[in-house]
Chains A and B, each alone.
Chain A
Amino acid sequence: MGEMIIVAEKINTSRKRIEDAVLSRDDAFIIQVAREQAEAGAHFIDVNAGTFVEQETDYLCWLVETIQSEIDLPLSLDSPNPKALSEAMKLCRREPMVNSISLEEDRFKSLLPVILSHPCHVVALCMAQTSMPTSVEERVEVGAELVERLTSAGIPIEKIYVDPLIQPISVDTNMALAALGAIKKIMENFTGVNTICGLSNISFGLPERRIINHNFLTLCIYSGLSAVILDPTDKQLMTALLATEMLIGRDEYCQNYIEAYQNNRLT
């Protein structure tokens, strides 16, 4: 098993400072945030301009070009909008990740041609056609159908990242177990596939969300999660990630953990 794939989440216009930087075309600030995340261990830099409904395409393209001008990492294009995605994809110098497609009828139909038009990695969100899955079984069922439909369309399974859909533990105390069980089953049932998730949805409606997100990450890793969307500049979170990976035998000679220590990156 390879090391955890890290998709760095900070360049999102729902964050005030990123929104301001995009509006004022402050390329230096965007590059700085991208660089910090790259240096902290990111494999993909996520870009999201979804809050600008009308101008999303323009801003997403601007973000892609701005970051690429200085940072040599592939990007994760975070949008359900086919136009924004296809325009941004054309600009990508390295094979991007598309975040995300789902089983919702319109979304699947409109995004499939886009992700087939260029080589890319694709996040497959376990959102069913008309509802959000709640149990392990429902998630696995939706995930299986996505994997099936995407591979038969020609997407290599290694480029598919199934997102089990994280829902808040505050409204249903089984939500973490449902996601963790789905991660495990999907990794077992589909050799070569990736699983991915963000961490913050789990803690909606609760205090000290960071603590919950951190601990959820370690459980996800133990369940087999192979990629994660997070803020890699969060040293505590990255420390938890490295330690957990080492503890479950995913860090040969404990090399990554020790290196992080030697580079003063553990907290």
Chain B
Amino acid sequence: MSDFKALSEAVIKGDTATALAETQKALDAGSNAQELLDNGLITAMNEVGDKFSKGLLFVPQMLRSAKVMQECTRILQPFFQEGDVTSKGKVLIGTVKGDLHDIGKNLVSMMLEGAGFTIIDLGVDVPPERFAEKTSEIKPDIVAMSALLSTTMPSMPLTIEALQKANLRDKVKVMIGGAPVTEKYAREIKADAYGSDAGAAVVKAKTLLGIV
């Protein structure tokens, strides 16, 4: 197995130039693009998420690492045929109805993407019916909801209800997060998981889908 240590380190440090050079070098040496993605880039982002959750790295560093990963992925693109990249899973994400805050949701999307998930982002102020419609249309593995206000949290159980009504609840896992949201609240409204921050959200998403 190839060693992508230098690449991973560059992603973690947010060093675009080195990361791009390492990616190119690995490709030139005949490395497999999927392997490079999994063991170089995704591994690095997992470490970033883990360090973020532990308070060892901070939001701007996470943003920078994600940007580096995106740039590297762009070089890898030509090596993948359409549908060739194996996605870890499809996540439908949005901030719930009545709530316009998108920062937390965007951080979670970014880290899930960094971990190899495919993200479909419905934006902010997403009504329950819209979550349900889109779920029926694209069949995600996970529906992820964000709320920053205690006043908009009740939109979460309403969305779960909408999924139930559309007979979709047992076809998806539901995860929730946001400043006023708690593990206890997730249990109360029968969500499948609660993520306390962007790093934790990735860990929970993997657990939900049985990915080690």
**Which A residues lie at the B interface, using CB under 8 A?**
14, 50-51, 53, 80-81, 104, 106, 127, 130-132, 167-168, 170-171, 173, 204-207
Q: A51-B150, A51-B180, A53-B154 are known contacts. Are A170 and B98 too (CB-CB below 8 A)?
A: no
Q: A53-B151, A168-B103 are known contacts. Are A205 and B98 too (CB-CB below 8 A)?
A: no
Question: A104 — which chain B residues lie within 8 A by C-beta?
Answer: 100
| Residue contacts A-B, CB under 8 angstroms, 18 given | A14-B180, A53-B150, A53-B153, A53-B154, A104-B100, A106-B98, A130-B100, A130-B125, A132-B100, A132-B101, A167-B103, A168-B103, A170-B58, A171-B63, A205-B59, A206-B59, A207-B55, A207-B58
| A contact patch SS | loop
B47: Cβ under 8 A from any A Cβ: no
Would B103 and A206 count as touching, CB distance under 8 A? Answer: no
Question: B100 — which chain A residues lie within 8 A by C-beta?
Answer: 104, 127, 130-132
Q: A170-B60, A171-B59, A171-B63 are known contacts. Are A50 and B98 too (CB-CB below 8 A)?
A: no
Apart from A50-B151, A171-B59, 13 more pairs, CB < 8 Å: A50-B149, A53-B153, A53-B154, A81-B151, A131-B100, A131-B124, A132-B100, A170-B58, A170-B60, A170-B63, A171-B106, A205-B58, A207-B58
B102: Cβ under 8 A from any A Cβ: yes
Shortest CB-to-CB span from A55 to chain B, Å, is 12
**Which B residues lie at the A interface, using CB under 8 A?**
55, 58-60, 63, 98, 100-103, 106-107, 124-125, 149-151, 153-154, 180
CA distance A171 to B125 in the complex (A): 20
Residue of A nearest to B103 (CB): A171
Shortest CB-to-CB span from B189 to chain A, Å, is 12
Residue of B nearest to A79 (CB): B151
Q: A50-B150, A130-B125 are known contacts. Are A170 and B180 too (CB-CB below 8 A)?
A: no
CA distance A204 to B178 in the complex (A): 13
Q: Which of B60, B101, B102 has the largest count of A CB atoms less than 10 A from its CB?
A: B60
Q: A130-B100, A132-B100, A132-B102 are known contacts. Are A168 and B59 too (CB-CB below 8 A)?
A: yes
Residue of B nearest to A52 (CB): B150
Would A170 and B150 count as touching, CB distance under 8 A? Answer: no
CA distance A206 to B61 in the complex (A): 10
